[in-house]
Each structure stands twice: as C-alpha cells, then as structure tokens.
Chains A and B, each alone.
Chain A
C-alpha cells in the first residue's frame, strides 16, 4: 500500500530521515518507534506531503504523494492539534470532515454512536468549542475524525500520549478492530513500547532517521525492544565515560 524509496530529508545539512526502502502492505498495522528526533513525525509529514522530501519518493497506493492529490480521498490522519479547527464544536467538526469524505449527517451520527464509550460523555452534546476542550479530549476528537468515511490508510502520530489509562485501553481495542478485516492500513508512532507491541503486527525502530530494526511482532518483541533502547542508553553512557 505504502512504499518509500530512497527517501531522505535534510535540514540545514543534517539528515533527519534516510530510508532506502520501506514497504507497508495493505491491511498491515504498522508501528514506528524511536527516541525524540528519530524522524517519526518527519516520516508521517512526508507521507502526508506536508513537507518536501530532499531525495526519493513516497507512494501511497502507487500515487506519488508530492505530485498528485489523488491519495487524499482514501487517506486520513491525525498528527497534532493543528488538525483540529478550534472554533467548531466537536459535532460540527465531525460533520465537516464527513462532508469532505462523502458521509452525511445521519451517517456521522450512526458512526459516532460506536464511540460513546471512547468519548466517555465528555465530547458530544457539551456545547463547547474544540479550543476549550482539554488536550486529551481534543486528541480523542482528532483520532475519531481520522476514522470517518472508511479510509484505506489511517495515520496517527503518538495517539496514546495525553490520554487517560481507560481511554488508552479503549483506543487499543479500536485500532485492533480497524485492522481485523485486513483492508485498512494503520500507521502509528509511539514512545510507549507496551502499547505499540500490543497493537502493531510490525514494528520499525528509527534511530536518527535510519530504520535500525524491522520486527514482526511476537511474544519476544517487547523485551527485544526494551533491551534495544536500554542498550542504547548503556552504550551512550559508556561513550561518555
């Protein structure tokens, strides 16, 4: 579904992302982990054509994202609060996104009924603008809006951050259900190794923009990742000594 070839991004002489080849097949739940500055958000921004690659290309369903806008109808994303429109109420925001994705008001209402649990009574019918919601509630709105209209590709950057534990557990369930029928490709990034190993069937570790590990998730994955990251700390300390 998604292919990156020879992809790199350079900021002021520093290569912040450098991926020779990455192929994400249709229906995969794909996890991206790495420390701050590893290039996770850069990769997602490139995939959404929000920044320009220095070299190489990303193809989304064989469409070059930087050349055509045809990937937009089947791709949905939530990166940060700049994807929310502050002066709308959550309902209005959902209807607006629905309008863009060919879902009418009734469709959206039916769709939102599935998320009553997830919203925990704090989103719908509260007559508040999005800008007045807490960060966590804003995030819930953004994530759910990214699922409107059966997108083929869903991109979520750090979806677990800022959420309360109950919501994190519900979100994991939602993501698992999403990839059950193997039609939707889900890409998420996270700092939380436990969540990501639970939800994703494949995990790629980025370090300073380079994919250093590409793991098919199994029982052993979590400990493998933990030892990788603690090992990194260990070597860094050793270097300092």
Chain B
C-alpha cells in the first residue's frame, strides 16, 4: 500500500504544471541541506573538545543537557516556519478500498523521514561517541542518552505536526500553549524557576539510568497516536465545513470606491484575503514578523548598516513577498473568468500592484516605533519601503507571469499547506539581496547617505516608470495567458 502512495506522489510531482520550478527549488534546497549537514556535523565533532577546553571544571554532557530544552524550543520554531508537512490528496482515495488508518499512517511515517529529523543526529551521534571514548560514562548510559535524544527529536516533529494543524484550524487553540511557553521563559529569564536547569537534571538522571530512555519513546508513540486520531477525524470531504457553516461575512469595503476603475478588483482582493484561510495567514505572518527588528536592533552583533537594509526590506515587504509571489495563482480557480470578462490585464495587474504597495506603506508606518533605536533605522526602513514599492513590486509581478500552479483556496484543512515551507522563502531572497548589495557597495565606496539616496533613487525611478512597466508586464502576461489557464486547471499538488 505504501508503495502505491509513493508511486502516486512520484507521478504528481513529475506531472505537475510547475515541475521545472519545483526541481530548481529542490536542487537549491539540497544544497542548503548539505550546507547545514556539514555545519551541524562539524559542531557535533568539536562540541566535546571545545566544552572541555573552555570549561575544564565542568562535565560537557551535563552542560549540553542544560541547553537541550532551549534547543528543542528553537527547533520547534524553525520547524514551524520551514518544515513542509507531507500531504496527500484524499478526495480520490475516499471511495477506494483503502483503510483510513493506512493513509494517515503514510502521511505521519513520511514526516519521520524529514530532513529536519536527521539534522540533530549530526550533533547527537558524534557528541555521544566522544562521551563514550573520553568521558567517564558507560557505553550503555550514553546509548540510552542518544536514543532518548533521537526520540525527543521525533517528539518535536509530531508536536510541530499537531501545532501546524491547530494553527490552520483554530488560532485561538494555541493561545494557552503560547502563554505557557512565555511564562516559563519569563521565569527562566528572571531566574525564579529555571526549567532548563531542571530539564538538564532530568537528562543527567536519564544518563545514570539509561533504561529510562523508554520514557521519550513512549512520548513519541503518544504524540503519534494523537496525530493519528486527529487526522483520522479530518478524513472527510466536509471536514473543513462541518463546524462552521456560519453566515457569510458581507463586509463591503465601500471605501475602496475612491479608486475608481480599480475599485472592484481591490474589493475582490480584500475579500479574497479576508475570507480565505491561507491568504489570511499571510497577514498574521506579516504582523508577527514585524517584531523581527526587536531581535536585530538591540544586538551589537550587527555593526554593519547593510544588515539593517535587509531587516527594512524584510519587515516592510513581508506581505509583498508572501502574497506577491503567488500572483496570479490566488485567482487560479476563476482565472478563465478573469480572462474573458470585461477586464483589461493592465487594470488587473495595477490593482494587484496597488494592493501590495498599500501593504508596504502600512507595514512601513507600523515600523516607525523602531525610531527608538535611532534615526538611521527609521530612514533605512522608509527607504527600504520606497525601494520595495518602486522596484520589488514590478519584479514580483513580472515573475508572477511564470506561475502556473493553482492555489486551492477552499481546500480542506487536511492538506492546506501548499507553499508554507522553505521554498517560499528562497524565492524572496533575490528581492532582499539585490538592495543589500547596492546599498553595501554605495556605503562602502561613498558613504551612508549615498547608499540611502541610491536605493530611494531606484525606488522613485521605478515609480516614475510604473505605467510603462505595467504595460510591459501586461504584455508578458498576455503571452503566457494560455499556459497559465492550462496550468491553473490542474488540481492537486
């Protein structure tokens, strides 16, 4: 049965409309994976000698154990942002003689082979070997520790699975868990109750009594069961509808009328974002990532201004990147209608450009409190916003003409994870690195002001040329129209 599922996935990948793009991204992802594997492996190898040298009077294993909990929390965060959960198109399977449990098990077992689960092994195994050969621990004790750590990694994997599900289903369900983490984090920070210390103690105890490694293994099984039950409950076509056949939201966004000919499209786009789970998540994402500056600005680690340009482009442009890179796929399910209705492509694209530009302006305004960290930062953020509007918006719309992968807005929650993964961020990289490079060159050879003027100059130039750029992009869309309509017809992954 599993062989059949794998066969289905293989076909869906190579027969998808965007196979070229997918392969390109996969290659890039493989390079990144290799890079991180090497980085983790070297860390795993040098960790023991380094700890021994830096803290000669402490036991390296006990020190590592103290940081395990912190690492797990970070790992969960990274996984939440980057790990794509395996999906399976269940609709065609529902009426075939395939046991529900088999399909669910396939999805869950496949997630165990995610690269993210192998990454920690690169640290755990070499470090464990060092402990056996150089430390005073018995072989069985360390083996128990290694098994426990691997099981914990799998726990995080399944925990992430559950959280992602809850996050798309119901945002509020997460609040208690987040509160708990915040409270524990605060207690730790103010040294009232150091949970990481006690967690470390527990791990030390486990090393002394290696048979206790059974505990994390039981935890993995418990998490697995939880996921299994959760997914099985969703194995229905109407899983998404069941709870909320509530009244349609009929907000009208009347204020958009001011924008004349573009008003109907702006209204449509706002409704698109407001009424569909996936585009709505991009809004929450944008607001959440607006806090990114808090991590960078107070730190002394980043002396160079260029990193602030990155932060500026990122914070003001996060909605642009997340929403813009899927234009026009958002409209995929009714693209033939858009193409045969009384709509000119230029109007259609201009309204998209306007919506994205608005988002940049709003995010730029929301980022003004960062002036607390200095005038320079405010200036950089404003210049970055201008650059985003002038240069990055047309670039994104242009690259959108190569989109021919459908986005299913009303997919059931069982598989509504399209495009929330590492690949999505990679597309955004050129948008962010080009301005950094320009700024860095100007800043390095002439000065800070030259860098700012250079970027804002490009932004203004883009705005001045906006109308002819849009005409050009509309031409590209017209040429690609048939390929797009055809690609958007394909349902499924």
Chain A interface residues toward B at CB < 8 A = 48-52, 69, 72-73, 75, 77, 79, 82-89, 92, 96-97, 99-101, 127-129, 131-132
| CB-based nearest B residue for A142 | B337
Contact A50 B485 (CB under 8 A): yes
A72 in complex: contacting residue of B341, B481, B482, CB < 8 Å? B341
Chain A residues lying within 8 Å of B337, measured Cβ to Cβ, are 82-85
Chain B residues lying within 8 Å of A132, measured Cβ to Cβ, are 241, 245
Contact A85 B268 (CB under 8 A): yes
Q: How far is the CA of A160 from the CA of B248 in the complex (A)?
A: 28
B339 on the A face (CB < 8 A):
yes
B246 shortest CB reach to chain A, Å? 9
Chain A residues lying within 8 Å of B248, measured Cβ to Cβ, are 89, 127-129
Give the residues from 192 to 232 in chain B that come closer than 8 angstroms, CB to CB, to chain A: none
Chain A residues lying within 8 Å of B268, measured Cβ to Cβ, are 85, 88, 96
B343 on the A face (CB < 8 A):
yes
Q: How far is the CA of A82 from the CA of B245 in the complex (A)?
A: 22
Chain A residues lying within 8 Å of B282, measured Cβ to Cβ, are none
Give the residues from 331 to 378 in chain B that come closer than 8 angstroms, CB to CB, to chain A: 333-337, 339-345
Chain A residues lying within 8 Å of B409, measured Cβ to Cβ, are 86-87
Q: How far is the CA of A132 from the CA of B410 in the complex (A)?
A: 10
Contact A48 B333 (CB under 8 A): no
Chain A residues lying within 8 Å of B243, measured Cβ to Cβ, are none
Chain B interface residues toward A at CB < 8 A = 241, 245, 247-248, 250, 263-264, 267-268, 271-272, 275-276, 333-337, 339-345, 409-410, 481-482, 485-486, 489
| CB-based nearest B residue for A72 | B342
| CB-based nearest A residue for B339 | A50
A82 in complex: contacting residue of B271, B275, B334, CB < 8 Å? B334
Identify whether the interface residues of A are mostly helix, strand, loop, or mixed.
Answer: loop
Q: How far is the CA of A85 from the CA of B485 in the complex (A)?
A: 15
Contact B334 A83 (CB under 8 A): yes
B482 in complex: contacting residue of A51, A75, A83, A88, CB < 8 Å? A51
Q: How far is the CA of A180 from the CA of B270 in the complex (A)?
A: 40
Chain A residues lying within 8 Å of B485, measured Cβ to Cβ, are 50-51
Q: How far is the CA of A132 from the CA of B244 in the complex (A)?
A: 11
Q: How far is the CA of A82 from the CA of B340 in the complex (A)?
A: 11
Q: How far is the CA of A86 from the CA of B247 in the complex (A)?
A: 15
Contact B275 A129 (CB under 8 A): yes
Contact B250 A127 (CB under 8 A): yes
B339 in complex: contacting residue of A49, A84, A97, A128, CB < 8 Å? A49
| CB-based nearest A residue for B332 | A82
Q: How far is the CA of A89 from the CA of B268 in the complex (A)?
A: 12
Contact A101 B342 (CB under 8 A): yes
Q: How far is the CA of A96 from the CA of B410 in the complex (A)?
A: 20
Q: How far is the CA of A98 from the CA of B204 in the complex (A)?
A: 71
| CB-based nearest A residue for B483 | A52
A6 shortest CB reach to chain B, Å? 19
B263 in complex: contacting residue of A86, A99, A131, CB < 8 Å? A99
Contact B342 A87 (CB under 8 A): no
A87 in complex: contacting residue of B267, B336, B410, B482, CB < 8 Å? B410
Q: Given A86-B409, A87-B271, A132-B245, verify A92-B340 contact (CB < 8 Å).
A: no
| CB-based nearest A residue for B246 | A127
A183 shortest CB reach to chain B, Å? 18
Q: How far is the CA of A120 from the CA of B410 in the complex (A)?
A: 27
Contact A87 B276 (CB under 8 A): yes
